[in-house]
Amino acid sequence: MKISIIGTGYVGLTTGACLAERGHAVLCVDQDREKIALLRRGKMPIFEPGLESLVKGNVRAGRLSFGTSNKDAVAHGKVIFMCVATPPRPDGSADLSAIEAVARDIAGHLKEFRLVAEKSTVPVATGSRVKDVISKYRPQHVDFEVASNPEFLREGCAIEDTMNPDRIVIGVESKRAETILREVYKPFKAPVLVTDIMSAELIKHASNAFLAMKISFANAVGQICELAGANVVEVTRGVGMDRRIGPGFLNAGIGYGGSCFPKDVAAFEAISRELGYDFSLLREVQRVNEKARDLFVKKVERELWIVKDKTIAALGLSFKANTDDIRESVAIKIIRMLVEKGAKVRAYDPQALAKARASMNTIAYCRSPYEAARGADAALVLTDWEEFRALDFGRLKKVMAHPTILDGRNLLDPGKMRELGFTYRSIGRP
Ligand code: UDX
């Protein structure tokens, strides 16, 4: 099927490449000409494992192409996926101006029937707004439909999540729209859940809010473990073995970041309030999340007493492993808090150095973890890169001024670290 994607960011590019891989003819467009020029040269604007070869392979096979014109997108795809950003406004609610602008643009270019599907995470009832806008601005004789088809991909394993999703959610108003989207996802082996549009929109917000809640719950339990002297890794393992709860997203640490959870929890809270329900639980999820990073900074202060003028090695800048994305990265937030207190931070990250350098010039950037640790009074593990688990700790110890590690991700083995002669602190572990 001919499919168009408007918005070639994380979601749009991954979705486009995966749909092409499954045999569809996909046109990805974006208003960012530089990004499209880069993609046309076979270069990726983001680091995502497996993405480059998938994109290149499908471009070569003639199934994937790139452009900058919404008009071309409307002409090409029977289905048009909207994958534009829905960033937070100061009050936490989602800024839907890009969605509205794209909807208006699609309407202006409509010549024959199109199914316009929201893939971006949007508050409930956005679909009906999109429908109103297209209805108003289209040539009145042209038919169209709106659908919701939220994505659930995680950065760092976006291809795997898109190719083998737990479920495909299709929110539609008619059998015709359902049939088209079922056709799109026919080559994927996953259960398909068909709902109305608003329920599909809510599934996305509720899923992300629930996952964020799991993380905050684990972080709160981590604090209890610390106070009582228990081990949060064992506690959450035991809790997660209950099939009703599940083992995922129970890792205590410095809190969640990234482009989705902070934004989606805030937007879900805001739309709930707007609808007349005070979802105070979500505010508590946010509060616990922010507290996790404050408590970690306090831990650093407990260890170093005075942070001012101390050299601190930051291992990790991205918001999680296997990505160069630093949006809402808790690692960066913690580094900023320490810099504010006068610390001299030397940072290393396997992928995010360039992006961090462009957004923060108050720290030193290093090409290896050992360079970052040179002369350090403490090293902080801030991102869960596998690389940090396999460090040459003898070498690390030698270059540090004091062999102290504060592990914000519970990545390392406390017993082993102590055996190696490190003062080692982690989250919720004795
Ligand atoms: C998330 C959702 O998982 C995905 O389904 C949705 O479509 C987009 O948002 P993403 O933001 O890419 O994906 O990353 P995810 O793996 O969910 O991690 C989010 C944050 O939570 C990261 O900062 C991560 O380090 C943190 N996290 C995750 C924890 O602190 N503990 C955990 O147990 C899991």
Q: Is residue 420 part of a domain?
A: yes
CA–centroid distance, 36 to ligand 1, in Å, is: 27
Above pLDDT 90, what percent of the chain? 100
Over the stretch 244-260, which tens digit does the pLDDT of each residue have?
Answer: 999 999 999 999 999 99
Q: Are residues 154 and 291 in the same domain?
A: no
- Which of 164, 235, 245, 260 has the most ligand 1 atoms within 8 A of CB, as the residue to mutate? 260
Q: How confident is the model at residue 86, as a pLDDT?
A: 95
Give me the CATH number covering residue 165. Answer: 3.40.50.720
Average pLDDT over residues 98-108: 98
Average pLDDT over residues 403-416: 98
- How many independent structural domains does the chain possess? 2
Q: How confident is the model at residue 126, as a pLDDT?
A: 97
Spot the catalytic one: 18, 225, 260, 366: 260
- What mean pLDDT, rounded, does the chain reach? 97
Q: Is residue 382 part of a domain?
A: yes
Query: 47-51 long-range contacts, Cβ below 8 Å, gap at least 24?
Result: 47/323, 47/324, 47/351, 48/10, 48/14, 48/155, 48/156, 48/158, 48/159, 48/323, 49/156, 49/157, 49/159, 49/322, 50/159, 50/160, 51/13, 51/14, 51/17, 51/158, 51/159
The confidence band for 311, taking pLDDT boundaries of 50, 70 and 90, is: very high
**Whole-angstrom Cα distance, residue 238 to residue 79?**
45
CA–centroid distance, 212 to ligand 1, in Å, is: 8
Select from 210, 212, 172 the least CA-distant residue to 192: 172
Over the stretch 20-79, which tens digit does the pLDDT of each residue have?
Answer: 999 999 999 999 999 999 999 999 999 999 999 999 999 999 999 999 999 999 999 999
- Among 195, 224, 243, give the residue marking a domain's end: 195
Q: With a 6 A CB cut-off, is 155 part of the ligand 1 pocket?
A: yes
- Among 172, 195, 218, give the residue marking a domain's end: 195
CA–centroid distance, 256 to ligand 1, in Å, is: 7
The confidence band for 263, taking pLDDT boundaries of 50, 70 and 90, is: very high
Over the stretch 200-216, which tens digit does the pLDDT of each residue have?
Answer: 999 999 999 999 999 99
Q: Are residues 186 and 316 in the same domain?
A: no
Angle formed at CA 88 by CA 83 and CA 92, multiple of 5 degrees = 140
**Whole-angstrom Cα distance, residue 253 to residue 99?**
34
- Among 195, 220, 249, give the residue marking a domain's end: 195
Q: How confident is the model at residue 261, as a pLDDT?
A: 97
- State CA 130 to chain mean position distance: 25
Q: How confident is the model at residue 246, as a pLDDT?
A: 97
Q: How confident is the model at residue 47, as a pLDDT?
A: 92
Q: How confident is the model at residue 385, as a pLDDT?
A: 98
Q: Is residue 234 part of a domain?
A: no
Range of the domain at 157: 2-195
Q: Are residues 171 and 53 in the same domain?
A: yes
Select from 320, 352, 387 the least CA-distant residue to 157: 320
Average pLDDT over residues 171-188: 98
Q: Is residue 261 part of a domain?
A: no
Over the stretch 113-132, which tens digit does the pLDDT of each residue have?
Answer: 999 999 999 999 999 999 99
| Contact criterion met (CB below 8 Å) for 107 and 137 | yes
Helix (H), strand (E) at residue 16: helix 10-21
Q: Are residues 305 and 186 in the same domain?
A: no
Above pLDDT 70, what percent of the chain? 100
Q: How confident is the model at residue 364, as a pLDDT?
A: 98
Q: Is residue 151 part of a domain?
A: yes
Average pLDDT over residues 405-429: 97
